[in-house]
Chain A
Amino acid sequence: MKRLLLIAISLLAAAGCSEVLDVSTDRMEKTYLVVESIITDVPSQRQSVRLSLSVPYFYDGEIPPVSGAEVSVSFDGSEVSFLEDDTHKGLYLAPEDFCGTPGTTYTLSVKAEVDGESHTYGAEAFMREPGVHIDAIDYAYAGGGTLQQDSLWTLGVWGEDFPGANDYLVVTEVNGNHYPIDHYIIMPDKYFDGKSVEGFPMAVLYQVAEMRKQYGDVAKFLETGDVVSLHAYTLDRPFYEFLRALDTSGPFGTIPFVSSQPATSPTNITGGDALGFFAACPVISASVTIDDPFRTSYLEH
């Protein structure tokens, strides 16, 4: 709903004219440490913590990574150290055999230097039990596209949502690569709480000619033999609120009629000026192989 309103009003804005405005850029009073980490229960996934710094809004260089930090995650009396990857500065990786377990509380500790001062940052995340069971997924070509060369597929889910408020982060991949356009969707379960779902469209893959120019072949037209995967991360409420705020505080600026009061996304990182989120989520995944990209209905499941 929000996005539709934004689209409509943006079109109205587009009907007017625009020009670049010089806005003062020297007002950022502090630099924040930014933490990106989702501990999952997927054994094949290398658990990681990414550390970077915030930048002034109009800074036009690369986002600076935070190198040389001490990163560890403790749980149930154990502690795992995350070591910085040699090739990706600011990316700290857990030992390959570490992955999360539902029902466990994880505590993050980061000792890092920001603006010449050393701080110890922390955060806590509890991994819930998965809120959904997925039997199968299937795709259907929705055509979609009144605009030529555009295509849209819906990904339907067969399974069961468990009772209780569960919110999901849905990530899609094609042949193991994240789909770059809207590659994640945040979905509250209020529309199907505690119900069996048959063909519920939890995600869409769409391919727009304009976007393909930007993203190249990754935003590919689905072909026979491609493997499409769907990963449903069960979120706790604070992480859901963080992702929703991230989604809301998008690039539209303040538009009369639509924009709420702008605000920075919340965080659960403590111990200093920090942003981002440390989360722990169980992941339920399923895949489907494309047999006919133009099939317009789901098969029997």
Chain B
Amino acid sequence: MRRLAAYLAFLLAGFCTLYGQNPGVLVSGYVKDASSGEPLIGAVVFTADLSVGVSTDGFGYYSIRTKTSEGIVKCSFSGYKTASIEVRGEKSLRHDFLLEEDLTELEAAKVFSKTKREEIALPQMGRANVDAVLVKKVPAIMGESDLIRVIQMMPGVQTPSEGSVGFSVRGGGVDQNLIIMDGAPLYNSGHFLGFLSMFNGDAVKNAQLYKGDFPAMYGGRLSSVLDISTRDGNNRSFGGNASIGLITSKLFLEGPIVKEKLSFMLSARRTYLDVFFPLFGKKVPKETDLFFYDINARLSYVAGPSDRLYFSVFSGRDVFGMSMEEFQLDHMKFRYANNTQSLRWNHVFSPKVSMVTTLYNARYDDGLSVDMNMADFDYAAMIREMGLKTGITWYAGRYNTVQAGVNLANYHLEPGTVTPSGHSSVVIGIKQASTLAFQPSFYLQNEQKLSSLTVRYGLRFSLFSTYGNCMQRYFDPVTHELDRIEPFGTGKKIIGFSDLEPRISASWSINRDFSLKASYTRSNQYIQLAAVSVSGSPVDTWLTASPNIKPQKSDQFSVGANALFVDQALELSLEAFYKRNRNTMDFVDNAGIVIDNENREGLLRFGKSWSYGTELMLKYEFDKINGWLSYTWSRAKYHIPEINGGEPYRSPLNHEHSVNFVLTYDINRRVSASADWVFYSGAPTTFPVGRFSYGGTYAPIYNKRNTDSMPDYHRLDLSVTYRTKGRASGKRWSGEWNLSLYNAYSRHNAWSIAFNYNVEEDKPEARKVYLFTIVPSVSYNIKF
């Protein structure tokens, strides 16, 4: 308590310095693309003498107070010409910067959008900014450029298994990442059992990944926040593009409905492999379903100089079904779907105060239907989150930016219902108890510049409670057996938790090209995946904190240094982190699959976990060559007294060494090439060391948990893009061919290791299963 009082006093002391600053000129407004009207996120607005600088927020809004009453204010953004405005002693000035694309530079030559000096001076650690241009430049698997694949190449981010678009940040679980698109959360970000992400490259404008040093506005997950913004849509003229790739076709349309007032963006893609199944005859079993689609739509409305409204919709659905006669299975179908809607209102109260309010609804459904003689059934589970978020930003002066807000989220979970299907099914239906929960949180944060030191400090207060109507199961904390089942009436509180989450980070600029940083973050997670598999599957279900599950808590400490060289063309960053987590949970040995087990909470065991490591990244940004080289060394361990004989064990998601190398090269205006190379040491796993015979079958004997390692992984991808003459030569459209090679030297990277008894040779064997050899692909994109 004393520590908290001291912290609050520090917070207040900071706010007291908001007053008494010399007024210069207050300049505020939006930064937009001059041709499309699209707001630009992360554009930098600064005074010509470089004494003050800010960057635009997620809506392209900025507010800056100059030091002097006269001077020049400039605005720059990669790939655009710098614009400027002169101030002449006005008290305040509203100005929207309209930036024109810089045609003297090669198209999309620069992949990092922020001005680097601004970035390294920010009191923000462990953040990666990824924009659409970067995503499109990195070689893609099967020709599908993918945001998450780029995220996976950032230092500190690990891939759980080959091909998967789940990701683990600094040793955390795949469910410890908060993924938000236009303000609404997504509970599964993978298509095709995780081989492609839900994020269509055409629709995504920008993504920010926070690896632990969370601004106070974010909470609810321990490892990372991935905040994705989609495009607003051109509010001046119609346009779009269409593409045909190996596995999907895409269409993107944008344009004004009311010019410069109301615009739309519509992006859709669907796989079409299933359309060709009949051509394969009997090679593809009858009734095979294999497709996904996703649709992003957005309406953007400029209601006035101070109000903007955005309505975003996302719908994605996967179906994977087939008949498997050799298993007596007439038909089996997995399905899952994400649907989100969000309404956002950006209001500017005054040049110094702006507000963003988001009302959202997010729903994730998954299921499995099986036709198997008399055992036909349908399994369905669902999670729904509805919420309201309001955040106010107060540009309190030249040196302070204060943010405060409220998030209210309501959860409804249906963990699993089994229903017999077909008149002859003998399966008896099971309906597991649903869970209702409410999570309000409040935050206050100030970012304060103190000469060469910039500090961001804030406090988040999060509460979480579950309530009826439901039947709550209680498990004995010692024996883990079911103790009792208690009914709770509608609205009656079952259990509540709360915690204060202090956040603080600081950046000390030694000079304009070198800074040192440090941060501390506390966060809580009240909802988690009940996944027995380390990488998770689409039919894993979510569990909330409950009388049996305490919220997971994390404290993370980071220190780092950033330096710019060669006229800012090279940026070197080094970060070291230590993270300790409490109430870490894991499944007991031999838990088996738990989706139809209403006593699954009794299979969980609790302890602590920790991870530490260093991340080194060298970004290079020259006229024609861009990219980065990163190296991460990290360790992550769990200690759960009732697992592994009470000894700590390695996290199955952590690769001790990982290297990522990305290079993009613009050969000329129309041809560009790119390459990436990925290496990581094998993930910890458990292999059998022996076997014994019981009942005529063999059973494996395992070592201690995760003492073995999968084979090391490495892969090279190559890509070439050729643009046709198109618009520059007066045509109404332009085309783009892309050729790519995934896994160019065809390494057989292990996806899994299967231990089988080889009947023909009458001996046991270990088989490495690999999914990919070399995967060439071609796609054509037409832009109109």
Contact = CB atoms under 8 A, between A and B. Distances in A.
Please say whether chains A and B are actual partners in one complex.
Answer: yes
Interface stretch (B67-75, B381-389, B530-538): B530-538
Contacts of A299: none
Contacts, number: 241
Given A147-B325, A256-B535, A16 B771 contact: yes
Contacts of A59: 691, 764
Contacts of B687: 23, 57, 262
Nearest to B539: A5
Interface in A42-80: 52-60, 63
Interface in B726-782: 748, 750-757, 759, 762-773
Contacts of B536: 257
How many of chain B's residues touch chain A, expressed as a range?
A: 35 or more
Nearest to A13: B769
Contact of B757 (A12, A143, A251): A251
Given A4-B329, A260-B533, A146 B765 contact: no
B712 to A, nearest CB: 13
B373 A142 contact: yes
Given A23-B753, A254-B686, A262 B692 contact: no
B755 A57 contact: yes
A200 B754 contact: no
Interface residues of A, number: 78
B90 interface: no
Nearest to A143: B373
Contacts of B8: none
Interface in A269-301: 275-277
A200 B425 CA distance: 11
A29 B162 CA distance: 32
A241 B694 contact: no
Interface string A147-158: 100101010000
Interface in B382-403: none
Interface in A7-54: 7-8, 11-13, 15-23, 27-29, 32, 34, 36, 52-54
B685 interface: yes
Interface in B81-98: none
B489 interface: no
A248 interface: yes
Contacts of A27: 689, 703
A4 B368 contact: yes
Contacts of B764: 57-60
B327 interface: yes
A197 to B, nearest CB: 10
Interface stretch (A105-113, A118-126, A129-137, A206-214): A206-214
Nearest to B767: A18
A154 B590 contact: no
A260 B593 contact: yes
B689 A28 contact: yes
Given A17-B770, A36-B694, 20 more contacts: A1-B595, A4-B332, A5-B593, A8-B334, A17-B773, A18-B768, A21-B767, A34-B693, A36-B693, A59-B691, A206-B328, A253-B766, A254-B685, A254-B753, A256-B535, A257-B535, A258-B533, A261-B589, A262-B688, A275-B692
Interface of A: 1-2, 4-5, 7-8, 11-13, 15-23, 27-29, 32, 34, 36, 52-60, 63, 142-147, 150, 152, 154, 184, 191-192, 199-201, 206, 208, 210, 214, 241, 244-246, 248-249, 251-266, 275-277
